[in-house]
Amino acid sequence: MLFQEVRPKTFDEFTGNRVQVEALKRAVANANRRSHAYLFFGPSGCGKTTLARILANAFGCPDDAFHRIEINAASQRGIDMARRLEEIAGASPMGGGSRAVILDEAHSLTKDAQNALLKVLEDIPSYTYYLLCSTEPKRLLPTILTRCEKVEVSKLDEDRIVEMLDSAIKASGIDDPGDDVLDAIAENADGCPREALVMLEKQSGMAEADAIAVVRSHLTHDKAVIDLCRKVLSGPWKAVAAAYNGLGDKEPEKVRRAILGYLKSCVLKSDKGGEAERFVAAIEELVEPTYDSGEPGLVAMLYRATAAMKT
């Protein structure tokens, strides 16, 4: 994948978020004042894990089994993870040096695992750094948040997206699709570098008109997602269920976010108070992430949102 191939490996290669990057550089330069626990938070695909890996390298934790441990908490989140965190905390890196523990999707940890993490963060060995990444930091225990240096990774503006795409084209050797296609990618990427790079790779080799069409349909996936959104607004539930079953991509969190974006647009365009209230009521049924509940949780949310539109 292109976004993996051109992933930045140093602070200077990282596009955007310069204030945060400069603060991390200062932390690297001042070993006596740096934190040993960092929380990188912000939208999906904007570079949280990439920055965590860059910081780990800068702290002297190379990418090997002895000095760096990466954990996806979305798939490893329960009591076994709690035990593993405690085991990691009690062992120094083989061969000496420093160790970085990168915990992706940290908010997905269960309460027991979060309590175990809290115990670890209360007494971090001098040779260990904990680098947490999260799109939903509010789901973490407040006591975990207070023990972390917080780094907010924000979306990029369109000019920065184009700048990043230009660099990716030069680094990867992919054909330059031209300014119109790059502008279309920047316009439709919603500030997300990873989405922009996926779109760049997806349109490679196409004629300009076809490339722009592919780019503009990317975030809405296809007509099936738009159809689902419209069915939620109009019902009945049987039609919503049929539209949902017709989706090619049923990644719950991606679908939930797409529908929320659609409903937000409906609220902003509404010129009637009662109509806007119904849209808001539907939004309120879809605000909880689906990391824990998965597809069953999303179906339940869709059912309640459809019912809310009828009230």
- Assign residue 139 the CATH number of its domain: 3.40.50.300
pLDDT at 262: 80
**CB 98, CB 123: distance < 8 Å:** no
Residue 25 corresponds to which tokens in the numbers above? 């550089």
Residue 186: CB atoms within 10 A of its CB come to 23
Give the closest residue to 140 by CA, choosing from 119, 159, 115, 162.
Answer: 115
Distance from C-alpha of 165 to C-alpha of 169, rounded to nearest angstrom: 6
- On whether both 54 and 81 belong to a single domain, the answer is yes
User: Domain ends where: 194, 217, 240?
Assistant: 217
Domain limits for position 212: 158-217
Burial of 30 (0-12, 13-18, 19+ CB in 10 A): exposed
Under DSSP, is residue 134 helix (H, G, I), strand (E, B) or coil? strand
Stated as kind and residue range, the H or E segment containing 201 is: helix 193-202
- The pLDDT value recorded for residue 217 is 62
Q: CA separation (Å) from 219 to 3, 76, 122, 186, 213?
A: 16, 28, 41, 12, 12
Verify that 209 and 291 share a domain, yes or no. Answer: no
Whether 115 and 62 share a structural domain: yes
CA dist., res. 194 & res. 164, Å (int): 10
pLDDT for residue 98: 92
pLDDT in tens, the chain (311 residues): 888 899 999 999 999 999 999 999 999 999 888 999 999 999 888 999 999 999 999 999 999 988 999 998 888 777 787 778 878 877 888 878 899 999 999 998 988 889 989 999 998 988 999 999 999 899 999 999 999 999 999 999 999 999 999 999 999 988 999 999 999 899 888 888 998 998 899 888 888 887 877 776 665 455 677 788 889 988 899 999 999 988 866 678 778 877 887 888 788 878 776 788 989 999 999 988 887 788 899 999 999 999 998 87
CA 129 to CA 59: how far, in whole Å?
Answer: 8
**Domain assignment of residue 35, yes or no:** yes
Same domain for 248 and 233: yes
Strand partners for 70: 102
Q: Which two tokens stand for residue 139?
A: 């789901």
Residue with tokens 């740096």: 34
| One domain for residues 82 and 104 | yes
Q: Are residues 202 and 262 in the same domain?
A: no
**Domain presence at residue 117:** yes
Are residues 175 and 100 part of one domain? Answer: no
> How far is 278 from 246, CA to CA, in rounded Å?
25
Q: Cα(220)–Cα(260) distance, rounded to whole angstroms?
A: 12
Q: Which of 188, 217, 246 is the last residue of a domain?
A: 217
pLDDT at 156: 94
Same structural domain, 131 and 177: no
* Shared domain check, 22 and 148: yes
Domain boundary residue, one of 131, 152, 173: 152
Same domain, 38 and 96: yes
Position 89 scores a pLDDT of 75
Supply the pLDDT for residue 304. Answer: 94
Task: Domain count for the chain, please give it.
Answer: 3
Do 185 and 254 sit in the same domain of this protein? no
Cis peptide before 289 (omega within 30 of 0): no
Under a CB-based contact definition with an 8 Å cutoff, are residues 145 and 33 in contact?
no
pLDDT at 211: 80
